[in-house]
Structure 1
Amino acid sequence: MDQHTFNTAAASFKAGNIKLATKVKITNPGVLAIGGLVSSILLSTTVLVWVLTSATRRHPVPTGLCRGC
């Protein structure tokens, strides 16, 4: 059977009378998978911002009218 090494992370948060604590154990391939998910989320956010601001790049006249806004 294949032995995996685990990476462990712990976090705690306290606000007033409420305390939250968690501990996570994950393997190296799991860390790689999470890194891939985070990078894809960041890339998709960049694409969304690019698409949503395309009207401003295509139409400079309305953009110039609102410079003092």
Structure 2
Amino acid sequence: MAENVYEREIFDLERKSIRDNGNGLPKNFNPKESDSLGLKLVDMLTEQLPGNYDFNSGEYGTEFNLLFKVD
């Protein structure tokens, strides 16, 4: 379950983040190889904006960050 959703502008870039407090992802997790519909949608969104994303995961949860240019 999502614990925190926030956005922040950095110069001309927008950052959207979502974080949960779950168990985290496996150490060798590769979002490009995932069958998850949600991650496929994130991947398509970053291509359309254009933008990119990254994630951090550990024993206290996972955070995904989407970074794209603001017009």
Give yes or no for TM over 0.5: no
Largest Rg, 1 or 2: 1
Give TM-score scaled by structure 1 length.
Answer: 0.25
Give TM-score scaled by structure 2 length.
Answer: 0.24
Of Structure 1 and Structure 2, the greater helix share is in 1
